[in-house]
Amino acid sequence: MGLNASLLMGARSLSVQRSSLEVTGHNLANVNTPNAARQRTSIMQDITIPLGLGQQGMGSFVESIESLRSSFLDEMVKRQNSLQGLYETRDQMASLVQDAMGESLSTSETSATEGISSATGIQQSLNKFFDAWQDLAADPSSTIKRNEVITRGENLAMDIQSSYDRVLDVKAGIFEQAGSVTSEINSLASDIADLNDEIARIEINTQSTANDLRDRRQELVEQLSTLVNIDVTLNGTNDAMIDIELTDANGSGNDVILVNGVDGAGAAGTHSLSVTAAFTKAANTVLQISATSATGTDYAPIAGAQEPTEGELGGLLLAANSDIGSQTTVPGAAPASSAPLTNKLHYFAGQMIALTNTLHATGYDQAGAAGGAFFTAGGTAANISVAITDSDDIAAAGDDGAGASLGVLDGTVAQSIADLRDNANTGELYREAVADIGIIAQQAKRNAQAQELITQQINNQREAVSGISIDEEMTNMIAFQRAFEASARFITVIDQMMQRVVSMAQ
């Protein structure tokens, strides 16, 4: 090998070290970039030339710049993101629903003798409502106590309506958030399709891996996975591209496709997501998601196995339809423990109305007339109200056995209504509903905390593979810098040798 070849080898060496330094600089620049994987130059020994003494190496060259990623860990992160999106959203929504119910225990509202008690919410109003009937039973002719019964009844009705209304406000918020989430899903799907296109073009043109664009695409896929559960596969015709569809629980083939190669968000057979119908309190609308496509099959709404079950959207669907529910009337039978909250609230309101009115109808008012409806008949949690406006119409007295009143000083019926406090379909039913929401919120919080830990551990594992370490990069930088200096020194030496050879000729 001649001096010129040596010079060229030195120059290539400088180039190799410079490229490696540049990659180090790139890594340092992206040390805080989300999802950026560390890159390394893949340096290979150059060809060897057979000489009489043996094979002589020709230095080194950069074969490629590699991104250190684990597709297994990437897939794990995507999966855990979906679960975290689900649990965090459910935790957040269940807490909001619980707050909307306004039930709390406190020491501040009560005397020291009574201790801790219900400080706010329906339970407190319910206690005061029954207390008022009990007081009336002891002094049935008292106008003050009769008015107190009406006031407490109105307060209870107002609190039931308010709690129901606040719960529906949470649901309205869920609809709004679902609208934002579907828009974000469409936007991400579109961006991923664009990146597919860009990655494919770059990789075909340069015959190298578009590491940064793949990092960016992976970041978007992971963002998408926190919003909804998805399946990601390599595109059938170009494996530089990926396809994405909503996870189909039973793989029926009726897929909701979000990205298909260079198409996404509704274009050419892919689907764009949206909330099927706007929320109204009167209809207590069911939250459904529709998938529409320019050329493919529409799903309006997405149902069954294709319906999102994880991610933020899955959490919103669960909170809106399973936790809150869409009941607008009083159910005919007692809802199960797992029934949605609105079923329980309507049933509770219906029972309060029916049980109170039934007893009230057996009583007699101050004028000796048979009792009418205390609460307006046929009401629900949305519109329960007190029918009586004149306190003399409260039928506190019982029947004398001959179809007449036991008298204005009799409080038998008032006491019977006060005894509804212990009825399984009034206070107990309501307390169970509050406990059920508490259990959902508690479980959601635990799941979210556990999932956060799992996701963090998976992220840590991925970080261990792909993450950028400043210390490592600084060490590499020194190594490449020294190698660069050494190569420069090598060129200087060859140059001096060439000068010596040239000066010999002078």
Partner 1 sequence: MRVTSNLYPEVFKSQVNYLRERQLLYQNQITTGVSVSKSSDNPVAFQMSQKIAADQSARVGYLSTSGEVTSLMESNYQAMSDLMQGLSRLSELTIKGNNALDSEALQAIGQETDSLVQQIVAIANRQHDGNYLFGGTTNQPPIDESGSPAYAFNSGNTTSTVTTAKINDGPAVTTGIVAGDDDMTDGFDGFLVNGTVNTLTVIQDIRDTFLAGNAVTSTQIQNMNNTIDLASEFVGITSAKLSAFDLNERVLQENIRSAAARIDGQTGVNMTDAITELNRTQSHYQAALQSGARILNITLLNYLR
Q: Are 476 and 20 in contact (CB under 8 A)?
A: yes
Residue 151's contacts (CB-CB under 8 Å, 6 or more residues apart) are 132
Among 106, 143, 383, 499, binds partner 1 (CB under 8 A): 106
How near is the Cβ of 465 to partner 1 at its closest, in Å?
Answer: 7
Q: Which stretch binds partner 1 (CB under 8 A): 8-16, 91-99, 165-173, 382-390?
A: 91-99
Our CA angle for 121, 127, 133, nearest 5°, is 135
Instruction: Quote the tokens at residue 335.
Output: 């809802």
Q: Are 243 and 258 in contact (CB under 8 A)?
A: no
Three-state SS annotation for 463-498: HHHHCCCHHHHHHHHHHHHHHHHHHHHHHHHHHHHH
Closer residue to partner 1, CB minimum distance, 221 or 468: 468
Binding of partner 1 by 339 (CB under 8 A): no
Binding of partner 1 by 80 (CB under 8 A): no
Q: Which stretch binds partner 1 (CB under 8 A): 125-133, 182-190, 245-253, 334-342?
A: 125-133
Closer residue to partner 1, CB minimum distance, 278 or 439: 439
Binding of partner 1 by 31 (CB under 8 A): yes
Binding of partner 1 by 134 (CB under 8 A): yes
Residue 328's contacts (CB-CB under 8 Å, 6 or more residues apart) are 282, 283, 284, 342, 346, 380, 382
How near is the Cβ of 291 to partner 1 at its closest, in Å?
Answer: 34
Binding of partner 1 by 285 (CB under 8 A): no
The Cα 127–Cα 136 span in angstroms is: 14
How near is the Cβ of 477 to partner 1 at its closest, in Å?
Answer: 9
> Measuring CA to CA, which residue among 179, 159, 163, 206 is closest to residue 64?
206
Among 83, 137, 256, 395, binds partner 1 (CB under 8 A): 137
* Beta-bridge partners for 257: 245
How near is the Cβ of 362 to partner 1 at its closest, in Å?
Answer: 16
Binding of partner 1 by 405 (CB under 8 A): yes
Closer residue to partner 1, CB minimum distance, 142 or 326: 142
Closer residue to partner 1, CB minimum distance, 252 or 475: 475
Q: Which 411-470 residues touch partner 1, going by CB under 8 A? A: 411-412, 415, 418-419, 421, 427-428, 431-432, 434-439, 441-442, 445, 452, 456, 459-460, 463-465, 467-470
How near is the Cβ of 185 to partner 1 at its closest, in Å?
Answer: 26
Binding of partner 1 by 126 (CB under 8 A): yes
Q: What type of residue sits at position 175?
A: F
How near is the Cβ of 461 to partner 1 at its closest, in Å?
Answer: 8
Instruction: Quote the tokens at residue 179.
Output: 């609208």
Question: Could you give the 3-state DSSP secondary structure of residue 356?
Answer: helix
Among 88, 135, 184, 365, binds partner 1 (CB under 8 A): 135
Residue 316's contacts (CB-CB under 8 Å, 6 or more residues apart) are 89, 93, 174, 177, 178, 181, 287
The Cα 503–Cα 403 span in angstroms is: 138
Instruction: Quote the tokens at residue 457.
Output: 């551990």
Closer residue to partner 1, CB minimum distance, 100 or 287: 100
Binding of partner 1 by 10 (CB under 8 A): no
Binding of partner 1 by 3 (CB under 8 A): no
The H or E element spanning position 312 is helix 311-317
DSSP track, 276-294: SS---TTTTPPP-EEEE-S
How near is the Cβ of 364 to partner 1 at its closest, in Å?
Answer: 11
Number of residues that bind partner 1 (CB under 8 A): 75
Token pair 């669907």 is found at 317
Burial 253-285 (b: 16+ CB within 10 A, else e): eebbbbbbbbbbbbbeebbbbbbbeebeeeebb
The Cα 474–Cα 476 span in angstroms is: 5
How near is the Cβ of 398 to partner 1 at its closest, in Å?
Answer: 9
Binding of partner 1 by 104 (CB under 8 A): yes
Binding of partner 1 by 475 (CB under 8 A): yes
Among 66, 131, 399, 495, binds partner 1 (CB under 8 A): 131
Among 471, 504, 505, 506, binds partner 1 (CB under 8 A): 471
Closer residue to partner 1, CB minimum distance, 130 or 348: 130
The Cα 176–Cα 258 span in angstroms is: 21
Binding of partner 1 by 55 (CB under 8 A): no
Closer residue to partner 1, CB minimum distance, 409 or 450: 409
Binding of partner 1 by 44 (CB under 8 A): no
Q: Which 139-158 residues touch partner 1, going by CB under 8 A? A: 139-141
